[in-house]
Homo-oligomer: A and B are copies of this chain.
Amino acid sequence: PEARTLLIGSHLDTVPNGGPYDGALGVLAGLEVLRVLQENQVPLRHHVEVIDFTDEEGRFGDFFGSRAVAGKHTEESIGAFLEKAGEAEDIGDLPAMWALDPDGLSVDAVLAARRDPKSLAGYLELHIEQGPRLERAGASIGVVTGIFGRRSWLLTFLGRSDHAGTTPLDARADALVAAARFIAAAPERVQARFPDAVATCGNVEVLPGVYNVTPRQATVWVEFRAGTLAELDGIDQALRELADEITVGPDLHAVVKPTAASQPTPMHPRMQEVIRAAAQALGYPSMDLPSGAGHDAQMMANVTPTGMIFTPSHRGRSHCPDEYTAPEHLVAGANVLLHAVLALAGPP
């Protein structure tokens, strides 16, 4: 009656034109762990259960499955998912759960998927890094310290349109030149002050956007990610200062419109320690690192002690066909997962 459940897993879905490792590794390695436990008749003090979370990538609703298990859905968030999934035209676009049992995926069923936190002993997820840091460091195992928080903005530079043929540079208030100075400087400015964080400008939209008129407006899509709230606040301020430095003079202005924000999610200290100790005991070189990408683990961390194990991604490539992790690293990751499970749920 005192036994709780240690969940291990990840997700089987990936992005269109993605690779074979993102998500699938954690589910398949979890199955292998169960087989090893059973074949060796290992006595357990907690249940161990493998879980495959639906639609981690957000084809219809991000972290849909883990959000359900963590009890973080609302009727609205489920309804939005069902509506989007209902419009899918190809069965290949549908999450496996929907394809297997379209009638079973209802608001009530998703709400009922919530697990009582008191019934859980923790959540462990093995995943590829999707970045180059482990490979560069020569490490087989990454001990994930936390998952980055993220903020995104629409940053609009406002200037003035002038005739491109008749207006000398010093008489212009070119919003795109201002935006370009920001885009060129922002990533390095952030990395210089916050070496563990990243900033990216993913798009820019220009008005009027023609050859012969200087741009009066340029809107930059900015996002930045970091492992702590203090870093996120510091980057927020540094990027606003950069925009102010660029928009000198009476005719150039910058307006920040925040569009999304998520908090950093630290991994549980005991889970980090169990993973670190398992790697050390097995002789795999390991390093601590944060995750720049989002994972189901950030949902599960809301309700139960959660840890993540990373394996190296060759050249950091992911979400593309050349996503690759060498077999010896896959084995190392699965072994660390097994030994972490033994430490958390195995013989006392």
Contact = CB atoms under 8 A, between A and B. Distances in A.
Interface of A: 129-133, 148, 150, 152, 161-169, 171, 174, 176-177, 179-184, 187-188, 191, 198, 200-204, 206, 208-215, 221, 223, 225, 291-294, 316-320
Contact of A202 (B212, B292, B293): B212
B163 A319 contact: yes
Interface-centre pick from A133, A148, A167 (highest chain B CB count, 10 A): A167
A166 B210 contact: no
A168 B132 contact: yes
What's the number of copies of this chain in the assembled complex?
2
A8 to B, nearest CB: 22
A293 B209 contact: no
- Sorted nearest first, the 10 A-B pairs with minimum C-beta distance are A165-B292, A131-B166, A180-B183, A166-B292, A164-B200, A203-B209, A180-B180, A180-B184, A130-B166, A211-B223
A202 B198 contact: no
Contacts of A202: 164, 176, 206, 208-215
Given A163-B319, A212-B223, 13 more contacts: A131-B167, A165-B291, A166-B292, A169-B198, A177-B184, A180-B181, A180-B201, A200-B211, A202-B209, A202-B213, A202-B214, A203-B215, A213-B319
Contacts of A210: 202-203, 221
Given A211-B202, A293-B163, A318-B163, A169 B184 contact: no
A201 B169 CA distance: 12
Nearest to A147: B165
Contacts of A176: 183, 201-204
Interface-centre pick from A182, A200, A213 (highest chain B CB count, 10 A): A200
Nearest to A207: B203
A339 to B, nearest CB: 26
B211 A163 contact: no
A223 B131 CA distance: 38
A168 B291 CA distance: 12
B163 A131 contact: yes
A207 to B, nearest CB: 9
Given A148-B165, A166-B293, A204-B204, A171 B215 contact: no
A316 B167 contact: yes
A161 B187 CA distance: 15
A92 B131 CA distance: 58
A221 to B, nearest CB: 5
Contacts of A320: 161
Contacts of A294: 165
A194 to B, nearest CB: 12
Contact of A177 (B150, B183, B215): B183
